Amino acid sequence: MRTAILALAAALISSPALASDAADVMATVKQYNSDFNKGDTASEVAHCAPNAIIIDDFAPHAWQGANACADWAAALAASDKAGGITNEKVTLGKPWHVAVTGDRAYAVYSTHYSYKLNGRAVVEQGVWTFALQKLAAGWRIAGWAWAQH
């Protein structure tokens, strides 16, 4: 019985920290998304961890390393220009799943991705999955993957 009480006390003590970490993880993802929507690449990239990994649906499909987030942003801009895409905006839905384990986190969001394709409005439904790492500067995106559905 004593062990059960101690385990319950430990869980209650650690719960606020986990709740705070989950809120901080969601705030990091929301800010990353907001910076993307504003076209603020420098701020967007600042949310990435060193050696991040990105997987997306346009070539070359994977970016990895110290400049992964900046390289992805540049590749997206080039792909959009070549494809006639403008006015991009991602709207995050409620998170489907957020899990925090120590200094690592995982978050999955439904999304609405809207843009103009040669002047015509397009909306895609997607899923954006993030892995984050807590560093001295706070939660940073260690990787993300995008999928249209």
> What is the pLDDT of the chain when averaged over all its residues?
90
Residue-wise pLDDT tens digits, 85-98: 999 999 999 999 99
Domains of the chain in start order, with CATH, are 2-148 (3.10.450.50)
**Rounded to two decimals, what is the model's pTM?**
0.86
Higher pLDDT, 133 or 11: 133
Counting other chains too, the contacts that 109-116 makes at CB distance below 8 Å and 24 or more residues apart are: 109/29, 113/88, 113/89, 113/148, 114/87, 114/88, 114/89, 115/80, 115/85, 115/86, 115/87, 115/88, 115/89, 116/85, 116/86, 116/87
Residue-wise pLDDT tens digits, 23-59: 999 999 999 999 999 999 999 999 999 999 999 999 9
Q: Residues of the chain with pLDDT > 90: what percent?
A: 87
pLDDT of residue 18: 59
Structure tokens at 91: 């709207």
